[in-house]
Structure 1
Amino acid sequence: MEHRLGAAAGVERAPGGFTQGTSDAAPPAIAVVGSDGRVLVWGQGCRRLLGHRAEDVVGAPVRRLLADPDRAVSWSAASGAVGRRGGGQTAGAVVELRHRDGGVLPLVVEIAALTGADGEYCWFVAATAEADGAELTEGRETLLDRSPLAVAVWDAGMRLVWANRASKGVAGLVDVTASGPSALRALRGFDRTFTEPVMREVLASGEPADDHVVRWVSPEDGREVVFSSSLFPLASGEGTSLGVCSVLLDITKCWERERLVLLGRAAHRIGTTLDVMTTAQELADMAVPALADYVAVDLAEAVPLGEEPLEHMAAGEFGIPVFRRAGMASIHEGAPEAPFSVGEVVYVPPGSPYLAVLREGRSHLSPTLALGPGTWLERDLVRRRRVRETGIHSLMMIPLRARGRILGIAVLARNEDDVPFSRDDLLLAEELAVQASLSLDNARRYTRERTAALTLQRSFLPDRLSGGAAVDLASRYLPSDRHEGVGGDWMDAIELPGGRIALVIGDVVGHGIHAAASMGRLRMAVHALAVLDQHPAELLDHLNEVTAQLAQSGTWSTEHPSITGASCLYAVYDPATRVCTLARAGHPPPLLVTPDGRAEIVDTPVGPPIGTCTGPYESVDLELPGGSVLALYTDGLVESRRVDIDTGLDRLLAVLERPPADLDDLCSRIVTRLTAHAPPEDDVALLVARTRTTGGG
Structure 2
Amino acid sequence: MDVVPAGRPLRPVRRRVALTSLARVVPTVALVGAGAAIAGTSPGGHFGLVLAVVPFLAAAVHSMAVTALIGALTVTLYAVLRHWLTADSTDVWLIKLGFLVASAGVAVLISHARAKQQQLERSRDVALALQEGLLPQRVPRNSAVETAYRYVPADTAAGVGGDWFDVIPLSGTRVALVMGDVVGHGIHAAAMMGRLRTAVHTLADLDLAPDELLSRMDDLAVRLADDDADRELGATCLYMVYDPISRQCTVASAGHTPPALVHPDGTVEFQRLTENPPLGVGGTLFESTEATLAEGTVIALYTDGLLDLRHQGTDTAIAALARALRPAGSGLDALCDRVWAGLPTEHDDDVALLLARTRTLPPDDVAAWEYPARPESVPAARAAVSARLAAWDLTAHTFATELVVSELLTNAVTHARGPVGLRLIRDGALICEVSDGSDTAPHIRRAGPLDEGGRGLFLVAELADRWGTRYSRDGKTIWVEQRFDSRP
Q: Report the TM range for the smaller structure's normalisation.
A: 0.5 to 0.7
For 1:468 and 1:406, the matched residues in 2 are separated by 59
- Residue type of the partner of 1:651? A
Q: Decide whether the 8 Å contact of 1:566 with 1:609 is kept in 2.
A: yes
Equivalent residue number for residue 397 of structure 1 = 54
RMSD of Structure 2 on Structure 1 (CA): 3.5
For 1:403 and 1:325, the matched residues in 2 are separated by 16
Name the CA shift for 1:406/1:474 in 2 (closer, same or farther; >3 Å): farther
Answer 1 or 2: higher relative contact order, Cα 8 Å, separation at least 6.
Answer: 2
> Map of 1:450-465 to 2, 5 A cutoff?
450-465=124-139
Q: Decide whether the 8 Å contact of 2:245 with 2:361 is kept in 1.
A: yes
Q: CA deviation at 1:594?
A: 0.8
Q: CA deviation at 1:661?
A: 2.4
CA distances 1:476-508 after superposition (whole Å, capped 9, x unpaired): 111111233211110001000010000000001
Equivalent residue number for residue 590 of structure 1 = 259
- Residue type of the partner of 1:639? D
- Residue type of the partner of 1:443? Q
Within the candidate set 246, 249, 255, 1:580 is matched to 249
Q: Decide whether the 8 Å contact of 2:264 with 2:329 is kept in 1.
A: no
Name the CA shift for 1:596/1:488 in 2 (closer, same or farther; >3 Å): same
For 1:517 and 1:606, the matched residues in 2 are separated by 27
Residue 628 in structure 1 maps to residue 297 in structure 2: yes
Within the candidate set 518, 522, 528, 2:202 is matched to 528
Q: Which runs of 5+ in 2 are unaligned?
A: 1-13, 43-48, 72-91, 364-488
Q: CA deviation at 1:577?
A: 1.0
For 1:597 and 1:521, the matched residues in 2 are separated by 38
Q: CA deviation at 1:605?
A: 1.3
Equivalent residue number for residue 654 of structure 1 = 323
Residue 549 in structure 1 maps to residue 223 in structure 2: yes
- Residue type of the partner of 2:22? R
Corresponding residue SS for 2:132:
helix
For 1:508 and 1:492, the matched residues in 2 are separated by 15
Residue 607 in structure 1 maps to residue 276 in structure 2: yes
For 2:324 and 2:141, the matched residues in 1 are separated by 23
Q: CA deviation at 1:369?
A: 3.7
Equivalent residue number for residue 129 of structure 1 = none
TM-score (structure 1 length as normaliser) = 0.42
Q: Which has the larger radius of gyration?
A: 1
Q: CA deviation at 1:649?
A: 1.4
For 1:501 and 1:325, the matched residues in 2 are separated by 49
Q: CA deviation at 1:475?
A: 1.0
Q: Decide whether the 8 Å contact of 1:466 with 1:493 is kept in 2.
A: yes
Name the CA shift for 1:438/1:664 in 2 (closer, same or farther; >3 Å): same
CA distances 1:597-645 after superposition (whole Å, capped 9, x unpaired): 2222111112111111131111111111111111000111103422233
Q: CA deviation at 1:458?
A: 1.3
Residue 325 in structure 1 maps to residue 23 in structure 2: yes
Name the CA shift for 1:657/1:613 in 2 (closer, same or farther; >3 Å): same
For 1:352 and 1:547, the matched residues in 2 are separated by 56
Within the candidate set 147, 152, 160, 1:478 is matched to 152
Residue 449 in structure 1 maps to residue 123 in structure 2: yes
| Greater share of residues in helix | 2
- Residue type of the partner of 1:650? A
Equivalent residue number for residue 426 of structure 2 = none
> Map of 1:258-273 to 2, 5 A cutoff?
none
Equivalent residue number for residue 306 of structure 1 = 16
Corresponding residue SS for 2:342:
helix
For 2:252 and 2:66, the matched residues in 1 are separated by 52
Equivalent residue number for residue 108 of structure 2 = 434
Residue 679 in structure 1 maps to residue 340 in structure 2: no
- Residue type of the partner of 2:349? D
For 2:302 and 2:66, the matched residues in 1 are separated by 42
For 2:358 and 2:205, the matched residues in 1 are separated by 22
CA distances 1:338-358 after superposition (whole Å, capped 9, x unpaired): xxxxxx767749x9467x8xx
Q: CA deviation at 1:695?
A: 2.6
Name the CA shift for 1:656/1:433 in 2 (closer, same or farther; >3 Å): same
For 1:434 and 1:489, the matched residues in 2 are separated by 38
For 1:509 and 1:686, the matched residues in 2 are separated by 17
Q: CA deviation at 1:650?
A: 1.5
Q: Decide whether the 8 Å contact of 1:368 with 1:394 is kept in 2.
A: no
Corresponding residue SS for 1:324:
helix
Within the candidate set 501, 505, 509, 2:183 is matched to 509
Corresponding residue SS for 2:147:
strand
For 1:549 and 1:586, the matched residues in 2 are separated by 19
Q: Decide whether the 8 Å contact of 1:593 with 1:657 is kept in 2.
A: yes
Corresponding residue SS for 1:521:
helix
> Map of 1:125-524 to 2, 5 A cutoff?
306-307=16-17, 324-325=22-23, 348=29, 352=32, 366=38, 369=41, 394=50, 396-398=53-55, 399-400=58-59, 403-404=64-65, 422-524=96-198
Within the candidate set 640, 644, 662, 2:313 is matched to 644
Identity of aligned residues (%): 41
Q: CA deviation at 1:433?
A: 2.4
Name the CA shift for 1:406/1:309 in 2 (closer, same or farther; >3 Å): farther
- Residue type of the partner of 2:356? A
Corresponding residue SS for 1:665:
helix
For 1:470 and 1:369, the matched residues in 2 are separated by 78
- Residue type of the partner of 1:397? V
Name the CA shift for 1:430/1:645 in 2 (closer, same or farther; >3 Å): farther
Corresponding residue SS for 1:686:
strand
